[in-house]
Amino acid sequence: MSRVAIGNAHVALDVRFFASLLWMEVGRWGWARDSEHGRQVWLAPCKWLSLCELYLWQPITDSNSDTGEEIKEAVRGMIEEMGRPNIADSFPFLKMIDPQGIRKRNNIYFRKMLDLFDTIINQRSKLGAKSASGKDTDILDILIDLTENAEDKRVHEQLQKSTIGHLLLDIFGAGTETTSATLEWSMAELLKAPEAMSKAQAELEQVIGKGKKMKESDIPQLPYLQAIIKETLRLHPPAPLLVPRLAESDVEVCGYTIPKDAQVLINVWAIGRDPNVWENPDKFMPERFLKSNIDAGGRDFELIPFGAGRRICPGMLLANRILHLTLGSLLNSFDWKLEDGVEPDTLNMEDKYGLTLIMDQPLRAFPTATST
């Protein structure tokens, strides 16, 4: 069901709308006022004005929307609970008891999100598709349209209005913190390496023009920007252990026997820092990808932040769009510096482990609009 819906949504999503929305929101998204110095500071991860919410569902990102805040809080709580070590994973007989209360708290978050989604879906259904009124179409419109007007019988059978909420739960649960965390890490690495940021801005100025709007069609002409995203995903994979796999049969790997039904975790964080594969593995060096054909699409096992094979992340293509368009737009629209008293060498790059890999101390950076 997810493959049918996500596949259709990715094809139907108007990227020109996506880019236009980003351009309108880039000056508003994730900003807060630093009262002490009277300047604006980038606090996107703290404020949870997440990219996925912004591009997939514009109304809930309104700063005055209680619904948006409730969803952000529920997503954050859900991810924290899912990433919390659970003793029941080691002793399955404890699952029914739920000694730490993790399952109980997660069920509360799930139910809260589904109730919020159902309310929004019903409101949107009553309003009718935006496309019919000549307005821009988002993914929710596409999903509703698929349930009502799809010619493919298989879509009708697998995607009903009652399942849209569960699909959106997957999209928001898997796509919000992972995307915003990757963007935050990329900005932190660039602020720590100003020469890399200068190279990226010079490339953007040459290809697009300083301060001008970036389009998806520009991405293939920006190899250094692509290299920055790859290098960020190598050093800071959003899901460091991916999603657990289950062995279908006994199998031997590198002399180790993995029994049938064993849960398998893939440590992509360690793969991305393996000195046998990468030169200076702990150093942020986007240049390593300029002369390399290694891709993050699941074909090269040195770099698999989205997984690989049949169970690769279904949102990979959309995540790539979001990351490149957003990072490129932020770099081309603003000059950046760290807050007073913080030097690149002293920037805290410690991570906070969980289901997703986020910065232990959220990034604070000050923007200045570039002059065209």
Which residues fall within 8 angstroms of residue 4, CB to CB, at 6 or more apart?
152, 154, 155, 158, 159
Q: What is the pTM of this model?
A: 0.81
State mean pLDDT over 212-225.
92
Determine the 3-state secondary structure of 368 from DSSP.
Answer: strand
The full DSSP string for 108-147 is: HHHHHHHHHHHHHHHHHHHH--GGGGTS---HHHHHHHHH
- Break the chain into its structural domains and give their ranges: 2-369
- Closest alpha carbon to 324 in 209, 193, 235, 230: 230
Max mean pLDDT among 67-76, 208-217, 222-231, 248-257 falls in 222-231
Question: Looking at residue 372, what is its pLDDT?
Answer: 58
pLDDT in tens, 302-315: 999 999 988 888 88
Residue with the larger pLDDT of the pair 133 and 255: 255
List phi, psi (to 5°) of 351: -105, 160
Q: Quick check: 289 pLDDT over 60?
A: yes
From residue 95, alpha-carbon distances to 98, 354, 355 in Å are 5, 20, 19
- Closest alpha carbon to 167 in 16, 7, 60, 354: 7
Beta strands in the chain (DSSP E): 31-34, 39-42, 245-246, 251-253, 256-258, 263-264, 334-338, 351-352, 358-359, 365-369
Q: Amino acid identity of 94?
A: L
Phi-psi region of 108 (alpha: psi -120 to 50; beta: other; left: phi over 0): alpha
Overall residue count recorded for the chain in this entry: 372
Phi-psi region of 178 (alpha: psi -120 to 50; beta: other; left: phi over 0): alpha
Q: Quick check: 267 pLDDT over 50?
A: yes
Max mean pLDDT among 157-171, 178-192, 271-285 falls in 271-285
**Residue where the block lists tokens 């991810």:** 79
In whole angstroms, give the CA distance from residue 299 to residue 91. 35
pLDDT in tens, 38-59: 555 655 544 444 444 444 454 4
Residue with the larger pLDDT of the pair 35 and 345: 345
In whole angstroms, give the CA distance from residue 87 to residue 258. 21
- Residues of the chain with pLDDT > 90, as a percent, come to 33
CATH fold of 2-369 reads Cytochrome p450 (1.10.630)
In whole angstroms, give the CA distance from residue 206 to residue 214. 12
What tokens does 347 get?
Answer: 């920037």
Task: State the distance between the two ends of the chain, measured CA to CA, in whole angstroms.
Answer: 46
80-84, 111-115, 199-203, 276-280: segment of lowest average pLDDT: 80-84
Q: Quick check: 110 pLDDT over 80?
A: yes
Question: Looking at residue 84, what is its pLDDT?
Answer: 83
- Confidence label for 11 from pLDDT (cuts 50, 70 and 90): very low
In whole angstroms, give the CA distance from residue 145 to residue 151. 11
Q: Amino acid identity of 188?
A: A
Q: At what angle do helices 139-149 and 2-12 cross, to 10 degrees?
A: 120
In whole angstroms, give the CA distance from residue 320 to residue 183. 11
Q: Quick check: 128 pLDDT over 80?
A: no
Residue 313 counted as an annotated binding residue = yes
What tokens does 189 get?
Answer: 């690495």
Q: Quick check: 149 pLDDT over 70?
A: no
Around Cβ 133, how many Cβ atoms within 10 Å? 8
- Residues of the chain with pLDDT > 70, as a percent, come to 74
Contact predicate 43/362, CB 8 Å = yes
Contact predicate 139/56, CB 8 Å = yes
> What residues are paired with 34 via a beta bridge?
39
- Confidence label for 157 from pLDDT (cuts 50, 70 and 90): low
Question: Looking at residue 326, what is its pLDDT?
Answer: 87
